Amino acid sequence: MKSPRTGTRLTALAAATLVVAACGGGSGGGMYTPPPPPANVAPTVSMIGSQVADQDTAVMVNFSVDDRESGAAALTLTATADGTALFPEDGVVLSGSGGARTLTLTPLEATTGSATVTIRAADPQGLATMRSFTVAVNAKNGSIRDKVFDVLPGQGVVGHVMLTKEPILISNTSEDHRYRVDDIARLSEICVPVIHNNELIGVIDSEHPEPDYYKERDIKILTTIATLVGNKIKQIESQQSLEIKQKELASINQQLAEAQLSALQTQMNPHFIFNSLNSIKGMILDNEQKKASRYLSKFAQMIRITLNQSKETFTTLYENMEYLESYLMMEKLRFGDFFTFSIMVDDQIDKEDVLIPTMMIQPLAENAIWHGLMHKKGEMKLLIRFSLEGETISCTIQDNGIGIEESQRLKQVHQPKHQSVGLSNLRHRIRILNEKFDAGCSLEIKDLSHSPGNGTGTCVVLRFNTITNKPCV
């Protein structure tokens, strides 16, 4: 099959040389020399064709010679390849007798290319005829190979089909001016366009050395094949185009998810800062300057850690615990001895190896303090525990505060128009982490007031898959 801009060309021979004199024997054992031909009548040389022989290691050029007066046997034949004479010791053999001859060429070099073989026939009077033929072979592996060359619309038979988009059958190419020689001249050619929705995709072209070889039946067969090929090409193009668009869409979605995740983490910083400044304000109003100063020092340290961790999507459990403990020590300055906290980790968990999503635990602890423990009278306890459940890490945050229902009731009384962004941001981050990293993250919140024997308080469980290698972001 040739594309609209390309055709097919065979490759080359190694250069070699040979001069062969063709002589015939007569009766009586003497040398017979036919009478000389009339003046100005030169011998004829006609190309029959070429073929691969000897297990694809040689090319045989078949041709015929004739001289009407002296006969073919008296002709002197000379063969050259790209202007270089061909000698028998270089793997070239001239065989046959009379008018039918065969030139066998065995490539010697492991190279490929193209060569023009020229046959010169000269009679005893010195009149000569030269015919040139392009012969090709892959000398490296001994097989004929294709070589691409350009075919422009209107150029040759293929170019004609490109313009008309109609199939064509040529019974004798020697009588058709549109015929263009590829590797060697052939006498029959059939050419069929590959069309899909009136768009020319390519051309199927076939040639044969015998005249009148192809029939109308072959046109119908190749037209059917061309239709199937055209449909398949368009199907493959559509699939490739769809795959490219899907990759582009996935890349856009990934960038969007990263931007959303970064924006949510950035939004949590002001939420934490707002709550901390409210604490400092309360200490100053209560004339607790020393406590406010210590709190402010801890707050500055927290800001620095927050800024560093907000750049990362995943950090180690050790880093998260360090950040969490710094925050809880700040809150203990505000509440004093009434507030106690505990952070526990199962022995099976390697704190410095396991990665967890950044800034996921602190907002839950902050929420427990500000909405559960702050309004409780008496001792305030906060328990945080990391445990391993198969391939899942579970973080449990439990307080003995006033519970969810009471917290919601107080909120309606004191801040009816306030919309908390802490938990909504956290849920949004969980959704993005699951979509982008398959984190297996889930959040469960229970009001312990509904559980017999537990008193009041809230239990929050955050679960996520165990991660030890930082995912690509």
Kindly tell me if the per-residue pLDDT of 36 is higher than 60.
no
For 81, what's the count of Cα atoms within 13 Å in the CB-facing half-sphere? 24
Task: Give 228's pLDDT tier (boundaries 50, 70, 90).
Answer: very high
| Residues 466, 439: Cα–Cα separation, whole Å | 8
DSSP per position, 191-242: EEEEEETTEEEEEEEEEESSTT---HHHHHHHHHHHHHHHHHHHHHHHHHHH
Look up tokens 């691969």; give the residue: 52
Kindly tell me if the per-residue pLDDT of 349 is higher than 90.
yes
How high is the pLDDT of residue 216?
92
Average pLDDT of the segment spanning 427-448: 87
Kindly tell me if the per-residue pLDDT of 437 is higher than 70.
yes
Kindly tell me if the per-residue pLDDT of 136 is higher than 70.
no
Write down the domain spans for the chain.
10-145, 156-245, 251-465
Same fold, 156-245 and 251-465: no
| Residues 380, 374: Cα–Cα separation, whole Å | 8
126 or 212: which leads in pLDDT? 212
How high is the pLDDT of residue 30?
42
151 or 72: which leads in pLDDT? 151
Residues 137-195: pLDDT tens digits? 444 443 334 445 567 788 889 889 999 999 999 999 988 888 888 777 888 999 999 99
pTM > 0.75: yes or no: no
Kindly tell me if the per-residue pLDDT of 425 is higher than 50.
yes
Best CATH choice for the domain 156-245 from the list 3.30.450.40, 3.40.190.120, 3.40.50.2000, 3.40.50.2300: 3.30.450.40
How high is the mean pLDDT of the chain? 74
Kindly tell me if the per-residue pLDDT of 458 is higher than 80.
yes
How high is the pLDDT of residue 76?
64
| Residues 89, 218: Cα–Cα separation, whole Å | 44
Q: Cβ neighbours of residue 187 under 8 Å, at least 6 residues apart? A: 172, 173, 174, 208, 209, 210, 211, 213
Kindly tell me if the per-residue pLDDT of 69 is higher than 50.
yes
Fold of 251-465: Heat Shock Protein 90 (3.30.565)
Class of CATH domain 10-145: mainly beta
259 or 280: which leads in pLDDT? 280
